[in-house]
A and B are shown apart, each in its own frame.
Chain A
Amino acid sequence: KAGVTQTPRYLIKTRGQQVTLSCSPISGHRSVSWYQQTPGQGLQFLFEYFSETQRNKGNFPGRFSGRQFSNSRSEMNVSTLELGDSALYLCASSDPRGDRAYEQYFGPGTRLTVT
């Protein structure tokens, strides 16, 4: 099976702009989670989508939003970018069935730089 793909891989934006990141999960995986990774804060959970519904949400401001489509592809959006939003944004998919429900398969990430 093909792995999780994320686009774009690198992005440079200016403060105040907005950005949309895309994630295509492993075929058959209906759960998609998003994480923000920074050197200081580590891996922070943003949100999880399952069957086009947000199932979980982390402690991030409302500027961070996401959605999932019927084919399980997901997008996350960050509006009014701040310098502190510079990070690696990772998407992870999982098959929420059975005893492997929590295993996360990560994509390569999108490196966002806000200037």
Chain B
Amino acid sequence: GQQVMQIPQYQHVQEGEDFTTYCNSSTTLSNIQWYKQRPGGHPVFLIQLVKSGEVKKQKRLTFQFGEAKKNSSLHITATQTTDVGTYFCAGPEIYNQGGKLIFGQGTELSVKP
């Protein structure tokens, strides 16, 4: 079945270092979304990318959608302790007319002050 894979599973960084998580889909995606889940919290929607090669920025976060619309990345510049959490990518199930999302396993980011 359709799969969305994320690497790495865990990332430990020193505050101020950069961080990148990668997402790969087994199928072409109509769009890709990113969510952040703080420890003990619930996933919070960050952004949606739709166009091939699209790049979007939110302050220190840069999101990219691959040209083939099968991969994506999230890059955080100069991490802060507030960035701690698990970052998930998700894409809609292929040929699905509804809201069924396939989530990656997530990348857990820890930031050492």
Q: How many A-B pairs fall under 8 Å by CB?
A: 69
Q: Does A94 contact B (CB under 8 A)?
A: yes
**A106 x B99 contact (CB < 8 A):** no
Contact A104 to B98, CB < 8 A, known contacts A42-B106, A43-B88, A90-B43: no
Contact present for A42 and B99 (CB under 8 Å): no
The yes or no answer to B44 lying at the interface (CB within 8 A) is yes
User: Which of A61-69, A70-78, A95-103 sits within the interface?
Assistant: A95-103
**Residues of B in contact with A, size category:** 20 to 34
Complex: chain A residue closest to B93, CB-CB: A56
Shortest C-beta distance, A35 to chain B (Å), equals 8
In contact, A48 and B42 (Cβ under 8 angstroms): no
Chain B residues with Cβ below 8 Å from A105 are 45
Contact A106 B48 (CB under 8 A): no
Which residues on the A side are within 8 Å of B92 (C-beta)? 102
By a CB distance below 8 angstroms, the chain A residues around B93 are 56
Interface class of chain B by DSSP? loop
Bitwise, B66-105 to A at CB < 8 A (1) or not (0) is 0000000000000000000000101011001111111111
Given the contacts A103-B45, A106-B42, A109-B42, A56 and B102 also touching, CB distance less than 8 Å: no
Please tell me if B33 contacts chain A, counting CB pairs below 8 Å: yes
Residue tally, chain A, CB below 8 Å to B = 26
CB–CB B101/A102 < 8 A: yes
Closest chain-B Cβ to A2's Cβ sits at a distance in Å of 15
Contact between B101 and A90 (Cβ–Cβ < 8 Å)? Answer: no
* B31, B41, B98, B105: the one within 8 Å of A55 (CB): B98
Choose from B33, B99, B106 the contact partner of A33 (Cβ within 8 Å): B99
For the complex, what is the distance from the CA of A103 to the CA of B90, rounded to whole Å?
A: 10
Q: A-B pairs with the 10 shortest C-beta distances?
A: A43-B103, A55-B98, A56-B100, A106-B42, A56-B98, A42-B105, A106-B43, A31-B99, A48-B99, A109-B42
